[in-house]
Amino acid sequence: MNIKALLKALLLRKFATCLLLLQLALTLGLVVNTILISLDTSKKINDPLMFDVQNLLAIELLPTSGEFKEQKFYQSITEQDLKMLKELDGVISTAQYNQLPIQNGGWNGNFKDENTPKDAISAKDLDYVPIFYSNKMGVENLGVEIIEGRALTKDDDMTAAYYAGKRDELQPNIVITQSLAKAVYPDESALGKLSNHGRIVGIAKDFMVNPRWQGRAKYFAVFGNFTFAQFDFTQNYVLRVEPGQINNVKKRVESTILAIHPERDILDVYSMNERHKEFFSQETGLSSLFTILCILMVMVTIVSNFAHAHFHMSQQRKYIGIRRALGATKRDIILYVFSENWLMSLFACILGIGTTIIINILLSQVITMEKPDILLYFMAVSIIFISGTLATWLPAYKTTKISPVVATHTL
């Protein structure tokens, strides 16, 4: 295999060779970075949720009539809603919530021990801890276990005290998640401690509250027993259903609620699964777009590879004929054609290291990107080699048809 001769042949057509090399290198760079984006998205979506996502149905609603401004009225309707919904076939438990996990933004507050000195610096992630207000079923309804202490009970309900104007004196009993407990009370048990949101009576197992936050903050949550009933604040119901019953229950939810009081706007009914998918829809969307672009690019590069091989071989017709006249077999010629393509791919892969890094840097300016690693690079390299080989197949086959008599033709 005469590498030098191949090189010389390529150098003769510098421009065409450069064009193909650039194409291959750019394609390589994009393929690697697309795989990075896809892997990243995949990781995010497959981050374990650790609560009963499969069997949870969520309902978002708002009252439309001014009657609901009366808190007691609003609360009684809420209780009736939950009772009737629980009686539906397939429903295990129900609860109302001021907000749901897996969302952007939300109702957050800073969380610290009540005895923390005023000028103490707290960790940044403790400034935005999600505060969930639900009924006593709140934690259990999501399929989350209490691992220390106890769950909230009817007696922990702070609703009456809150609306009686005793808000600032309240020290309600709360349940917090493991990670939050460890964050605020690293060396001791959090049970019994008084925080700025209430007394901790139970610690729940960690579950995915905020997938986009970093590290331990993903699992921070505070649960209080409180029926928040504000006229213009979206109410959330979550129904825990038997496996496989989501669609059945979904059908009957709206009629059940409206039967209790028709002046409600049912904004949305969806499963937690759908909520999770929707949450990451932009990431998955971008990943899909990039993947499609990559496929298109590889296809265009295949066309180029084909044209390059075809053109180059037709230029070398006479030389190939001469080789055959001098004794080269068809196999030798095919190998020659493919070697040229492989040499190009090799150079492209070297150039591709540069383009991959540059594209990665450019993309990092606008979205968070992982750095490319060797394994991934080789994966992309193999895609380039394979597509190049496929593209060269037809021209290679055609060169075998060049008969040795071509050597004797004049010009």
Partner 1 sequence: MDMFLYYLKLSKHNLKRHKLFFTLMITTLAVGVAVLLANLAILRVMTSDPIPEKSDKIFSVNMNAWPEKDENISESLHILRYRDAMHILKSNIPTFSIAHYASQVYARNIESKSLTRFSAETRATTSDFFELTNAPFAFGGTWNNENSNDVVIGADLNQKLFGGINSVGKTIEIGKQIFRVVGVLKPWNLKPLFYHATERRAFNKTDDLYAPLETALTYNWGISARTSSTESFSDASDTRAKNVFYMQAFVQLENAQQKAQFQNYIDSYSQSLKDSGEHPFPINNKLYDVNQWLDKNKVVDQKILAFALATVLFLAVCIFNASSLLLARYHSAKFETGLRRAVGASKKNIFYQGAVESLIIGSCCAVLAIILGWAFLKFSLTLFPYLNDIASFDAKLMLLGIVIAVSTSFISALYPLIQASNSSLSAQIK
Question: Which residues are at the interface with partner 1 (CB under 8 A)?
Answer: 15-16, 19-20, 22-23, 26-27, 29-30, 62, 64-67, 69, 104-105, 119, 121, 124, 127, 167-168, 230-233, 263, 265, 281-282, 284-286, 288-290, 293, 296-297, 300-301, 303-304, 307-308, 310-311, 314-315, 359, 362-363, 366-367, 411
Task: Give the tokens for residue 143.
Answer: 């399929």
For partner 1, the closer CB: 74 or 207: 74
For partner 1, the closer CB: 124 or 331: 124
Closest approach of partner 1 to the CB of residue 97, in Å:
17
Closest approach of partner 1 to the CB of residue 27, in Å:
6
Query: Which of 109, 377, 61 minimizes the C-alpha distance to 237?
Result: 61
Q: Where are the alpha helices (H) located in 119-186, listed in sequence order?
A: 138-141, 159-161, 178-184
Rounded CA-CA distance 103/106 in Å is 7
Question: Pairing between strand 198-204 and 173-177?
Answer: parallel
- Whether 35 and 379 have beta carbons less than 8 Å apart is answered as yes
Rounded CA-CA distance 313/319 in Å is 9
For partner 1, the closer CB: 163 or 185: 163
Phi, then psi, of 352 in degrees rounded to 5:
-65, -25
- The angle subtended at Cα 2 by Cα 301 and Cα 380, nearest 5°, is 30
Hunting for tokens 């917090």 — which residue is that? 176
For partner 1, the closer CB: 120 or 375: 120
Q: Where are the alpha helices (H) located in 46-88, listed in sequence order?
A: 71-86
Residue 228 amino acid letter: F
For partner 1, the closer CB: 169 or 188: 169
- Whether 248 and 89 have beta carbons less than 8 Å apart is answered as yes
Closest approach of partner 1 to the CB of residue 244, in Å:
28
Closest approach of partner 1 to the CB of residue 189, in Å:
28
Rounded CA-CA distance 20/75 in Å is 70
For partner 1, the closer CB: 80 or 291: 291
For partner 1, the closer CB: 49 or 391: 391
Closest approach of partner 1 to the CB of residue 339, in Å:
20
Closest approach of partner 1 to the CB of residue 174, in Å:
15
For partner 1, the closer CB: 16 or 328: 16
Query: Which of 225, 51, 210 minimizes the C-alpha distance to 145?
Result: 51
Closest approach of partner 1 to the CB of residue 331, in Å:
26
- Whether 81 and 263 have beta carbons less than 8 Å apart is answered as no
Closest approach of partner 1 to the CB of residue 372, in Å:
15
Rounded CA-CA distance 320/334 in Å is 10
Hunting for tokens 């505060």 — which residue is that? 131
Closest approach of partner 1 to the CB of residue 250, in Å:
21
Three-class SS of residue 394?
A: helix
Q: Using CA of residue 309, residue 314, residue 318, residue 320, what is the dihedral sign? A: positive
For partner 1, the closer CB: 302 or 322: 302
Task: Give the tokens for residue 183.
Answer: 């964050």
For partner 1, the closer CB: 289 or 390: 289
What are the helix and strand counts (H, E) for the chain? 12, 11
Closest approach of partner 1 to the CB of residue 272, in Å:
20
Closest approach of partner 1 to the CB of residue 308, in Å:
6
Q: Using CA of residue 76, residue 261, residue 224, residue 116, what is the dihedral sign? A: negative
Distant-in-sequence, close-in-space partners of 125: CB < 8 Å, separation ≥ 6: 183, 213, 214, 215, 216, 217, 220
For partner 1, the closer CB: 62 or 208: 62
